[in-house]
Structure 1
Amino acid sequence: MREIGWAARGACRTSDPELFFPPAQSDEHEARAKAVCERCPVLQECRAYAVRAAEPEGIWGGLTVRERRGLRFSGDRRRAAAS
């Protein structure tokens, strides 16, 4: 997929996918995943993609599904790309 070519540069590329897509969500899991996202060189691209694509699962761009949904429904997509 050309649109997500940036993913090859993501800080998560060498992490266990279960960190971002856990079988059972917990605050600890979420904090660990978000810590990886904080140091990611493609954080903004990832976040913008996830909001635009309405990714239904996982942590993308340092945001949970609920956080992304809030951005989508608030109509504040520019904030997602700038954060």
Structure 2
Amino acid sequence: MHIDMTPTDLAWQAEALCAQTGADFFFPEPGSSVREAKRICGLCETRPRCLEYALRNDERFGVWGGLSEKERLELRRRENR
């Protein structure tokens, strides 16, 4: 399910720490560690909005809101029970 968001809804992205560090940490090669991305997310004030965005837009790759692809999938499964 994809939900279109207005530019105001996405304003948090400019404040996100990931926007200041680059995508490499957040979209690592398969099998690479996501530890550094999760550490950065843990310090980020926009983490809740980021996770909400990823879940609403079914983001399937990378670290969003401090969770990996597998963690978000498990969260969605638990919520659908």
TM-score, length basis structure 1: 0.79
1:19 aligns with 2:4: no
1:37 aligns with 2:44: no
Q: Note the residue ranges of structure 2 that are not aligned, 5 or more in a row.
A: 1-5
Matched letter for residue 65 of structure 1: E
Match of 1:62 in 2: 66
Q: CA RMSD in A?
A: 1.5
Q: Larger C-alpha radius of gyration, 1 or 2?
A: 2
Q: How many residues align?
A: 74
Matched letter for residue 5 of structure 1: A
TM-score, length basis structure 2: 0.81
Provide the identity percentage: 34
Q: Note the residue ranges of structure 1 that are not aligned, 5 or more in a row.
A: 77-83
Larger relative helix fraction: 1
Runs of 4+ more than 4 Å apart? none
TM-superposed CA distance for 1:12, in Å, is: 1.0
Match of 2:77 in 1: 73
